[in-house]
Homo-oligomer: A and B are copies of this chain.
Amino acid sequence: MGDRPLEGKTPLKAAEKPNMDEISREGINGIMDVISPGIVPGSDTAHLHLLGYGHEKYYPGRGVFEALGAGIELRSGDVAFRANFATVDDRMTIKDRRAGRKGSKELEKAIDGMMIDNIKIIFRNTTEHRCVVVMRPLEDALSARVSDVDPHAEGEKIQKCRPLNGGTEEIKTSKAVNEFVKRSYEILSEHPVNRERIERGEAPANIVILRGAGKYVKVEEIEERWGFGGACVAGASLYKGVAKFIGMEVLKVEGATGRADTDLKAKADAAIDALKRKEFVFIHVKATDNFGHDGDFEGKTEMISRIDSQLIGRIMDHASADYIVLTADHSTPVSIRRHSADPVPVAIAGEGVRKDDVEDFDEFSAAHGGMCRIRGKDLLPILSDLMGYYRMYGV
């Protein structure tokens, strides 16, 4: 949600957002470096910090979050990758990194369950061309320290997966990845689904390219760490994956898409319902970030107003919650169309907070608030103290 000013205004300053402003007015405000000042957070590391897990210790690699977000039950030692259905020519040059943005359950089935030596392959086609590959070692351990197969650009050849340092586990893993890619090509290029696509003049999904390896290790769950369990309401799989990674319940919400067309009312209702049985509900809306990446000031501004009325207002009217925390996982300024390190505003309302004089929820007003400047990983400890789940250090 955070941004840099254009002619003095950010989307947050420009938006109509009476409900967000009410949270600021009733609560305590501040600005927050989600990781630390000047450090640009990725969406995954940002959420780890916001949920009280420093990425230095807990970041498992993006593939793990995507696999968990896709609903795969990982076991310690599994190595997970983000993957795409892609289109290559017979010289292994990428024609379309996204294979016409189309997925296929039949193609998924043709690959899922494959065995490579003693490694079991779990393969899911999640949305459109996006896939997840999990390598489950039945004997010797694998490593996530291997390079990407995906060249991240069209017209480039697919890359050989290489061990980053050269240990036994890395060599074994990179060999398995290369074998997987080769076999995916063999299976997919002959598959009837692709023959039909070619006949219709479409790009065949004739290979699977991998990136973002991550090794799953079970971590201390949120309830153990902060005293309360929680549920997650999100559209995009990454956020669900982070939530699952730390032991939160991931709610299925019909219409939550992670795009601007997401059903904000359905997300609000899922949260309101979850709050009847969970002490902590985390709600994520992705679309403001997308508008930032697109450089669309108006779109981002309107999205913020929609979030205010359809999501936040609804929650404030119907949920029974002692505390409400409003913040962003990072800034994505429309002027630069990428994540930035600009701190995000944060407001906490509820019993006992030191209400300050801030009247608007935006990047500028928040800097005058009573919380001054905190870090992302301070947020859950502050909340756990307010909720009474503190641990005292010493006596």
Which residues in A have some Cβ–Cβ distance to B below 8 Å? Answer: 4-5, 8, 30-31, 35-46, 55, 59, 62, 212, 333, 335-336, 339-342, 352-356, 363-364, 367-375, 378-385, 388, 390-395
Contacts and interface: CB of A to CB of B under 8 A. Distances in A.
Copies in the complex: 2
Most chain B CB within 10 A, of A353, A372, A374, is at: A372
A221 B53 CA distance: 31
Interface of A is mostly: loop
Contacts of A364: 354, 356, 370
Contacts of A371: 367, 373
A219 to B, nearest CB: 16
B341 A4 contact: no
Nearest to A36: B378
Contacts of A336: 352, 388
Nearest to A339: B392
Given A364-B370, A373-B374, A385-B341, A392 B352 contact: no
Given A5-B355, A355-B8, A370-B367, A46 B341 contact: no
A372 B44 CA distance: 26
7 contacts: A39-B385, A40-B385, A40-B392, A42-B392, A43-B394, A333-B352, A371-B373
A381 B5 contact: no
Most chain B CB within 10 A, of A37, A38, A368, is at: A38
Most chain B CB within 10 A, of A340, A383, A392, is at: A392
Contacts of A354: 4-5, 342, 363-364, 367
A240 to B, nearest CB: 16
Given A341-B382, A341-B385, A380-B38, A44 B395 contact: yes
B38 A395 contact: no
Most chain B CB within 10 A, of A45, A353, A371, A385, is at: A385
Contacts of A363: 354, 370
A148 to B, nearest CB: 12
A392 B34 CA distance: 12
Contact of A372 (B45, B373, B379): B373
A390 B4 contact: no
A31 B382 CA distance: 15
8 residue pairs, one from A and one from B, having the closest CB atoms: A38-B381, A42-B394, A45-B394, A37-B378, A372-B373, A341-B385, A38-B382, A4-B352
A385 B38 contact: yes
Contacts of A395: 42-44, 62, 212
Contacts of A391: 40
Given A367-B372, A370-B367, A385-B341, A390 B355 contact: no
Contacts of A374: 37, 373
Contacts of A45: 393-394
Contacts of A379: 38
Given A4-B354, A368-B368, A381 B43 contact: no
Contact of A353 (B4, B35, B36, B339): B4
